[in-house]
Amino acid sequence: EKGGYASFMLKEIAEQPKAVADTLLGRIDASGRLTLDEVRIPDAVLREADKVVVIACGTAFHAGLIAKYAIEHWTRIPCEVELASEFRYRDPILNRRTLVIAISQSGETMDTLMALRHAREQGAKVLAVCNTNGSTIPRESDAVLYTHAGPEVAVASTKAFLTQLVACYLLALYLGQVRGTKWGDEIHAVVRDLARIGDEVERVLETMEPVRALARSLADRNTVLFLGRHVGYPVALEGALKLKELAYMHAEGFAAGELKHGPIALIEEGLPVVVVVPSPRGRSVLHDKIVSNIQEIRARGARTIVIAEEGDEAVVPYADHLVRIPATPTLLQPLVATVPLQVFACELATARGNEVDQPRNLAKSVTVE
């Protein structure tokens, strides 16, 4: 069943280009317009929505954090993202104009299910982003946008995450299309970029050998830190989560702008720090700021592992290890930037002798609170 791979996780990492392409299939017409027929929530309701709330757990929550950047940018609707387990006990303010997006690979996560029930009781419309046909979360939602990752067996989520991102981008663009925001041209360009992104993920997978070697060389370390900005921040959180659950190491993701507010005190000689660098094109201010962050931590002894776009020369002098990813628009960068972090965690865990498909203490789907 593992199709020649040593683990389901490796197989599922390799399946990502197809999973991404399958999730786009049939959802963009020849003229570049989105046709999300499954979204049965009437356009009038989508037009009137004045707030989006994303609820999810774990990796799906990280997809939600990235979705917020896309939704707010392309639709100008305020978007909150919350851990389902926190949301339901917080007495959240919801009404008929709130669109709730519940993201779940399994469709059976108890906290997410309870949160969506709570939202519907308050009159909110709930749209599920789910990978499992007929599971409880889509059955109890007003509508569902299925991710087409295929069954995900490994406990650590990989291909489901990438397809959750694709589904969230599609939803954000669709909301923009329905509401006719001023981003019309940009939306067309992004749809074109999205249609190509599976090939870019494939290119990343083809260049992962140095990342594997690096991971093996760090097998005896205790801590790895991850830094990012903008959509790179949730990518850093996701890289840290993968390392925790697979390698049982202390791993933490930070927003790079927070370094001086505390985390920089952790930097010591030889500490591996992975930095996800935004594209130097477009939002170049962010790029320049993170290059300064890399300089700061390196001056304090960090061993910098820099994930940066092809052609970004500014990072070269400060990168102890440089991982190249294809140039993509900033909002889509998580689709390519997450892949090296998955490979890194999987290889490091294997080097430590851990069972990557079944990490200790974890279940694939958490059906208890």
Asked whether position 156 contacts ligand M6R by CB under 6 A, the answer is: yes
116 binds ligand M6R per the rule CB under 6 A: no
Alpha-helical segments (H) within the chain: 8-14, 16-24, 43-48, 58-75, 84-87, 110-121, 136-139, 159-179, 184-206, 209-217, 232-247, 284-299, 334-351
Question: Interface with ligand M6R by CB under 6 A: which range of 36-44, 105-113, 261-269, 345-353?
Answer: 105-113
| Residue 7 binds ligand M6R, judged by CB under 6 A | no
Q: How many helices (H) and strands (E) does the chain have?
A: 13, 10
Question: Rule CB under 6 A: is residue 114 a binding residue for ligand M6R?
Answer: no
Given the complex with ligand M6R, which of 59 and 350 has the nearer CB atom?
59
125-130, strands of its sheet edge to edge: 79-83, 51-56, 98-104, 125-130, 143-146
Q: Which stretch binds ligand M6R (CB under 6 A): 57-65, 267-275, 296-304, 337-345?
A: 57-65
Contacts of the segment 239-243: beta carbons below 8 A, 24+ positions apart: 239/274, 239/276, 239/338, 239/341, 239/344, 239/345, 241/58, 241/59, 241/62, 242/156, 242/341, 242/342, 242/344, 242/345, 242/346, 243/344, 243/345, 243/348, 243/349
Q: Does 366 bind ligand M6R (CB under 6 A)?
A: yes
Among 41, 155, 205, 236, interactor with ligand M6R by CB under 6 A:
155
Q: Is 157 in the site for ligand M6R (CB under 6 A)?
A: yes
Output the six-digit token pair for 188: 């067309």
Smallest distance, Å, CB 147 to ligand M6R?
10
Structure tokens at 23: 């999730």
Nearest residue to ligand M6R by CB is 58
Among 16, 23, 112, 328, contact with ligand M6R (rule: CB under 6 A): 112
Q: Two tokens at 147?
A: 């991710």
Contact between 104 and ligand M6R per CB under 6 A: yes
Residue 282 is classified by DSSP as: S
Q: Does 109 bind ligand M6R (CB under 6 A)?
A: yes
Binder to ligand M6R among 19, 36, 53, 57 (CB under 6 A)?
Answer: 57
Catalytically active residues, by annotation: 364
Number of chain residues interacting with ligand M6R (CB under 6 A): 16
- The reply to whether 110 sits near ligand M6R by the rule CB under 6 A is no
Taking the complex as a whole, how short is the minimal distance between the CB of residue 351 and ligand M6R, in angstroms? 19
Stretch that binds ligand M6R, among 100-108, 214-222, 266-274, 349-357 (CB under 6 A): 100-108
- CB burial of 108-133 (b: ≥16 within 10 Å; e: otherwise) equals bbbbbbbbbebbbeeebbbbbbbbbe
Residues engaged in binding ligand M6R (CB under 6 A): 57-60, 104-106, 109, 112, 155-157, 241, 245, 365-366
